[in-house]
Structure formats: C-alpha cells, structure tokens
Structure 1
Amino acid sequence: MKAIVVGGGVVGLNIALALQNKNISVILLEAEPVRKAASYGNAGHIAIEQVEPLASVAMVKSAFKRWFALGGALSFPAAGFREWLPFSFRLLKASAPAQFAKGKTALSALIAEAMPAWKRRVADIGATDLLREDGHFVIWETPESAAKGLADWKSTDTGTARFHEATDDEMAQLTSITKAPIAGAIRFENTGQVSDTARLLKTLEAVFIERGGVIYYKSVAALNVEGGQAFVKLKGGEILTADRVVISAGVASKTLLEPLGHRVPIIAERGYHIQTAQHGWPQSLPPVVFEDRSMIVTGFESGLRAASFVELNRPDAPADARKWQRLRGHVKALGLPFEGEGAEWIGSRPTLPDYLPAIGKSDKADNLYYAFGHQHLGLTLGPVTGEIVADMVTTGHAPKAFDLKRFA
C-alpha cells in the first residue's frame, strides 16, 4: 500500500512513521524544508493534565480578565474579525455544559494514551533522551492568586496527571531563577517535556527517510476527487496519487478540504515566543508556568524559551510586535536568567471551536483521511494521533468523536 501525508509537522511526521510501521510506503508533502510552524515554536510541554477542552463556561467567563489590553494573553485583532467573530459564536455553542461534557469524555480518553504513545515513539526511533517525564511547575506571585490558583487546580480534573504543593527544596529551585516573590507553587509530577523541539523534528524526519520515506518540499494546490478517489495536485501542476491520502496540514487543511464539501471552521490561534541561547536556566529544571502572566518558560538544548498569547487571527496577518515586547517585559520584571533580547517567533495553532482535533475518514473519497486541529495539544497528541490514523487507514474504522461531521 502507498500513502501520501500532507503536512510535515509533529502530527504529520508521527502519522508517516506509524504508517511505515504498518508496512505502508509513504510520501510526505511539506511546503518548506525548515520547520518553523507551531510544531517547532511551542513550549515543548507534553500536557497530559489538559483533559478539559478550553471551550468551556469557565473559560468564557474568564475571557475578559485575560484580555490583552488589560495585561492578559487573549487577543482579538480588529483586522481578523471575519475569522474570530464566527469562530467565537461556535465556541460559545461548544461551551454549553452538555457539549463540554461530551468533548471532555473524548479528549480525556485521547490524552490518557498520550504519554504511553510518546514512550513508544521515542523508543521506536532510538531517541529516548528526547523525552523527559519530570513534570512542570505552576507558580503564582501574590497570595490572592496563589490561593485561587491552588483551589482551581484542586477542583480541576487533570486526568492521569498528578501534582503536589511545592516542597521547600522545590521552592528554593524556583527562587533561584527569579527575583520576583513567589507566593505559591505546585509541581506536576508526571507531565513531560521534549528536550528540544528542533531536534525532535529533525530526528523524526531523519528516521522517516532512513526507513524509505520520501519528502517532497512542495506546496499543495488542491485536492481533487475522481471515481471516488482523492489525488493531490501540487502548485507546479504535478499530480500525485496513492492508495491512501491523509491531510494533516494544520490551518491549511481548511483550504484543501472545504472545496470537497467538508465544513472546517478552523482558526489560526497564534502564539509568540522569544528564545536566547545565552541563559542561566538550570538544566534539571522542568518548564515553569507563570500563571499570573499566562507565560511558560522552558529550557531546551538550543536555548531558553518564553512563550505566551492566544491571538485569534488570519494566519497570514502581520505579527504584533507588542507581544514580543510584553514577553521581554515579563522576563525582565521576573529577573529570569535570560540574556539579550531573544530571537522572535510567531506561529499558528490550528484550532477548532470545540477545542477537539479532527481525526477521521472523509465521506467525499474512499481513500481520503484527515488528522489536524490539535490546538495547544499538537505536541502532546502527535504520537497517539499517528497510531490512530495508522489503524484507521488499515481497518477503515474511524473515531466518531473527532469526525468533521460534527460541524456539518
């Protein structure tokens, strides 16, 4: 059997490797040889604690407090209102208690398999050092936010993730990297981190090629269907055919699937980071979430990264330089061991209004499948998504909870 996977991010690469493990020959299509999308620019956090969809009544109620203009991380640029206005109405609908409960059941089951799938993946590619399973910290800077934050986490379902209030030794670790007062902190014990997102992507790609995979660094112009079979048309006019076609192109999946009749209400949820190679972050310290500032700081092999923001916008909209400046302001105010201005990055998380991924088999062509829309959880769910798609492609059975028909 031969397959085409459109999209070479962390989800697409995991799909390609999982298909190879089923003895399927794979061509991977990726627009650019340098990975610089969300698969590279994320915080490197394997978030097995995030079993509740972000489309919830609680999130809607707290949205105003998170407004960028008020110092928060949530941003609705005026130029992107044609995207975020209809998306917001769909999100409100998905946040209804019955819909939220249904989504949580589906997402919880998926995330429960995330860490086991990650362990299988790094063992499969011979790079177990890419995965660190030593948790992460969440800290608060005021007694009020610490009391509220701790109460919120205690009342939140975190699935298989465990946490405890930070010990004296752990507080000493945290106070060593910031000049700001720490009023309270918790440590998640068994969440994970990848050692470096850039090395992860390079390793996944190298193993895929070593096992006979082929990568075309070309852009896809369209999907076409003839005789019940989908085929891929590249921008240069070349036509590619295969027994199976899998769309895993993030936000761009919309432009490929909607002409065929699928409804894909996806939005670019853009995040920002700054990163420096020169820093004093302890090598043993896991990611730290500064919850009062909606910022996560992660030490990678390649440098120290501070990431934040939820900007609902067009994927091609100009970057908002104020967001990088705010990150620098947070870093300075906290006195973090972050040297220099830091390199700037912006990227789009592919987000659907119910904050669940789209994983399924298309009813528009017999050989067409899809897996995208993982929002903040693309890194977390990459390996388990790959395994689901490989099973789906070989058996024809698709998970109903993540079918695009829910938006019809």
Structure 2
Amino acid sequence: MAEKNRAGSTAIVIGAGVIGHASAIALQRAGFAVTLVAPPTGPEASWGNAGHIAIEQVEPLASRATILSMHRRLFMRGGALGLPPRDISAWLPFSMRLVRSSGASRFSAGAHALGTMLGVALPAWRTLLEMVGAGSLLREAGHFVLWESLATADAGRRRWAQTNIGTTRFRDATTDEMAQIKRHFQVEAAGAIRFAGSGQIADLRQLARALDAGFHAGGGQRRLGRAIRLERQGDRAVAHLDDGARLDADVILVAAGVGSRHLLEPLGHHVPIIAERGYHIQMAAPGWPENLPPIAFEDRSMIVTRFDSGLRAASFVEFGREQSPPDPRKWARLRRHAAELGLPVADDTCEWMGARPTLPDYLPAIGRSSAAPNILYAFGHQHLGLTLAAVTGEAMAAIATGGVAPFDTAPFTLERF
C-alpha cells in the first residue's frame, strides 16, 4: 500500500483520531515510514460524532448571527449551548476572541477558505476509503432537517435559503419521505427539507477499524504513549513521550486535538483553543431501516443517525476544559428527547462525552511550524473533524513533500493568531 520510502524519510503522527489516521495514511502514500503515537486511554472525540459528512456547513460559526442568537441557545433556556460557571476562566476569554473573529470581513474570508476545503472533502473520502478497502462505509444519501412547529419551519427554511451551503442543495421533503419519518419517529413534523450532496459514514467503529487496518497494512507502526513536549534541537524538533522516550523524525505532525496547544505553545505559537464538549447517547435499534439518512431535529438542537451498530442521538456545545467532569443533565435531556421521539431508549443505552478542538474563528489549524520546519500541525476542526479528515490528510502529505495541496492552506496557519 505504501510507496517506496522517500530515501528513508520518517514521520511521526501525534494523535490517533480520524485526522491523525487519515494523515498517517496519506504520509505513507507519499513514501514516509510512519509511526502513530496514540494515547493509551479513551477513544478520541473523532469517534463520538454523528457520522455526518457536513459539506453544507460552509459558514463558520464565528458569525454575527451566532453571537446575536447565543442567549436563545443557552442550556438553561432549553438550547444546546453550555457555559459551565466552573470553567468561566476558560470560556470567557475564548468567547471574547470568538466575538472579535465574527466581524464581516473575517467571516467572509473564513467562509471562502472553509468552502474550498469542503468542496473537495467528499472526493477525498472516496479516495481514502477505497484505498483501505472500505468504500461501502461512505453513504451519499444526504440528510434531513426537520421542524416541529410552523413558525420554526418557516424561519428555518428562510435561514437555510439565505445560507451558503457550498456544493449541496436542498428541497422540501416529499410526502413519502415524511411518511417514512413518521413511521419511525413519534413526531408531528410541521416541515422538513432534504439535503443532497452531503454524506454519512455507515459506522464509526468500523471506520476506526478500517483506517487502523489500512495504516498497518501500509507498514505503519503504532506507539502507545502520550507526547508531553516538543523540544527544539538545532533547526528541528524532537518529541518526548511520557514514558521517557525521545522520538526524532523528518516530519512530526501534531494532530492531537485539544492537546495540541501544550505541545506547540512552548515553541512560540499562540493556540487559543478550547474544549468544545459534545454529548451523545447510543442505543440498539434492530430492524431500523438502513436507508434513513441522518435527521437534524432543529427545534431540539440534536441530530439522530442510524449506524450499523445502533442509533445515535447527539447534541450540545459545551465550552470548558477537557478534563472537567461531564454534566449528567445533558445526557438526561438527550434521553428525554429520544423518548419523546419514540426511540428505543433503554437502561443499557450508552452515554458518551468528548471534546471537539475549536479555535475562535471556527477554522482549523493546518500548516508547517515557523519554529521548527519538521513540525507540521493539523487540528482544531471543531464540528467538521470527520468531514474534513480525508482532505486534511491529503494536504498534510502535500505540505510534507512540497507538493500542491488540494486547497489553499494559507488561511489556516497559526500565524493568523
């Protein structure tokens, strides 16, 4: 699977989420011998999302519209936005940066930059999944957005009609589609639209296994451990692990999500990242139709996805610290919504919480370190980590080899901060 090594060139990828795996495989294809440094505990946030390939989300969430609507979205008012008082010293400075990033010019530039990535995201996924022999994991049947009142349906349609949705398009759900939804959800839908052009991963557990198998088939090595610091030595850097090991390579890619900050800031980079925590519940759903795409219930600020391994209901934007304990009230609300929709919630329903790595302008950080040329970075993909993983991997291989990336990476460098 891997091409001949680039004259013995080596690469270390720090981070075993979907960005790390996709980048490791892309670096292999570029001829590097790759070692993936994976923490020994806990699944990364990559595997806790809704599985939605959200190429319609062109407009960054750092926007005036987001700022003006925040008070209506607060958890205490039934919304999805959590601002835990215990973590105010983390989310208050971040929120101020978000406000400064939401001006018209920065928003417009961010939408253009993000749109260039999203426009090539699905082709990159097709290539990557075919490469690892798992093409069937990509479903390209779009998704639904549903409202439960006439007022929210009218407002929602108008909002989406005025939104930049990139290469996707949408239409009103048909009578048959509405009937299909009603057969499986106890909901009186006042309106729904169906997007075309977006996609879904059939099952995230299978995706994790497929990417891991593809990486090992290409000769990749997995090293259990946690990178604790990067140290400059001459004109390059080396990585130190928590077990005392010192790793050197021609390329060291930092793809450690929220943890990327503590690795890069000692090198002189400013990384204003926050743990934007999301929650989900997952339940067994035998007999649930495979052909039902993800459904976003906008009035409830949640999305329901049918995976091969069960039904997942996901929600919440909780700004805080990665290590803060989860808020059980959020799982309770997800359970209540799921029960009201008629989903098969049971005592053995799985509960999960993970931290999305989010930067204040809602753009990822992608580039080469100005402090040490062998350090690359790819993190901060917020809600779009799964969506942008494959194309990010292609970009990292291009940066590592001096090739041409599939999109302009200049707007994503850390120098913007």
TM-score with structure 2 setting the length? 0.95
Give the SS at the match of 1:176.
Answer: helix
Partners in 1 of 2:400 and 2:343 — Cα distance?
A: 47
Letter in 2 for 1:94: S
Among 363, 368, 373, the alignment partner of 1:361 is 368
Aligned pairs for 1:245-324 within 5 A: 245-279=252-286, 281-324=288-331
**CA-to-partner distance for each residue in 1:257-312, whole Å, 9 max, x for gaps?**
01111000000000000001245532210101000010000011111100000000
Tell me if structure 2 keeps the 8 A contact 1:5–1:246.
yes
Listed as ranges, the matches of 1:180-259 within 5 Å are: 180-259=187-266
1:190 CA displacement: 1.8
1:171 equivalent to 2:181? Answer no
Name the amino acid aligned to 2:22.
N
Q: Does 1:14 align with 2:22?
A: yes
Distance 2:252 2:154 in 1: 50
Instruction: Determine the structure 2 residue equivalent to 1:152.
Output: 159
CA contact (8 A) 1:328 1:341 kept: no
Is 1:281–1:337's contact at 8 Å kept on the other side of the alignment? no
Partner amino acid, structure 2, of 1:32? P
Q: Over residues 53-110 of structure 1, what are the superposed CA-to-partner deviations in whole Å (9 max), with x where a residue is unaligned?
A: 0000011111111110000000100111111011001000110001101111100111
From 104, 107, 115, the equivalent of 2:111 is 104
Q: Report the 3-state secondary structure (helix = DSSP H, G, I; strand = E; otherwise coil) of the residue aligned with 1:19.
A: helix
Is 2:58 the partner of 1:48?
no
Shift of 1:339: 4.4
Distance in 1, matches of 2:291 and 2:344, equals 14
Q: Secondary structure at the match of 1:385?
A: helix
* Percent pairwise identity: 52
1:139 aligned residue = 146
Q: Tell me, what secondary structure is at the counterpart of 1:221?
A: strand
C-alpha distance in 1 between matches for 2:67 and 2:381 = 20
1:77 touches 1:313 (CA, 8 Å); kept in 2? yes
CA distance in 2, matches of 1:116, 1:373: 22
> Residue 399 of structure 1 aligns to which amino acid in structure 2?
T
- Give the C-alpha shift of residue 123 in structure 1: 1.1
Give the equivalent residue in structure 1 for 2:13.
5
Partner Cα distance (1:158, 1:338) in 2: 33
Q: How much does 1:336 deviate?
A: 2.6
Q: Which blocks of at least 5 consecutive residues in structure 1 are unaligned?
A: none
Deviation, 1:161, is 0.8
Instruction: Give the Cα–Cα distance (whole angstroms) in 2 for the partners of residues 124 and 279 of structure 1.
Output: 31
Q: What CA distance in whole angstroms lies between the structure 2 residues aligned with 1:46 and 1:351?
A: 18
1-side partners of 2:250 and 2:369: how far apart?
A: 14
Deviations 1:214-243 (A, max 9, x none): 001111121101101111101111101001
Supply the AA of the counterpart residue of 2:93: P
User: Would you say 1:85 and 2:89 are equivalent positions?
Assistant: no
Q: Take 1:147 and 1:20, find their aligned partners in 2: how far apart are those partners?
A: 49
**Structure 1 pair 378–117 and aligned structure 2 pair: CA distance change class (3 A):** same
- Quote how far apart the aligned CAs of 1:396 are: 7.2
* Aligned mates of 2:58, 2:119 — CA distance in 1: 8
The match for 2:32 is 24
Q: Does 1:95 align with 2:105?
A: no
Q: Which aligned runs of 4 or more in structure 1 are off by greater than 4 angstroms? A: 337-341
Contact in 2 for aligned 1:133/1:190 (Cα 8 Å) = yes
Distance 1:340 1:178, change over 3 A: farther
Task: Answer yes or no: is the 8 Å Cα contact 1:251–1:268 preserved in 2.
Answer: yes
Does 272-281 or 3-12 show the bigger shift?
A: 272-281
Aligned to 1:124: 131
State the aligned residue count: 406
| Structure 2: stretches of 5+ with no match in the other structure | 1-8
Quick one: distance in 1 between partners of 2:288 and 2:104? 42
- The answer to whether the aligner puts 1:328 opposite 2:335 as a matched pair is yes
Deviations 1:122-179 (A, max 9, x none): 1111111110000110000000000000111111110001111000111111111122
2:394: which partner in 1?
387
Counterpart position of 1:405: 415
Distance 1:85 1:37 in 2: 25
Q: Is the 2:18–2:46 Cα contact (8 Å) retained in structure 1?
A: yes
Letter of the 1:229 counterpart: R
> Does the 8 A contact of 1:95 with 1:354 survive in 2?
yes
**Structure 1 residues 335-344 or 252-261, which shifts more?**
335-344
One-letter amino acid of the counterpart of residue 306, structure 1: A
What amino acid is the match of 1:312? F
Q: Distance in 1 between matches of 2:115 and 2:40?
A: 33
CA distance in 2, matches of 1:206, 1:384: 19
Relative distance call for 1:14 and 1:350 in structure 2 (3 A) is same
Letter in 2 for 1:67: L
Letter in 1 for 2:49: N
The 8 Å contact of residues 279 and 338 in structure 1, kept in 2 or not, is answered as no
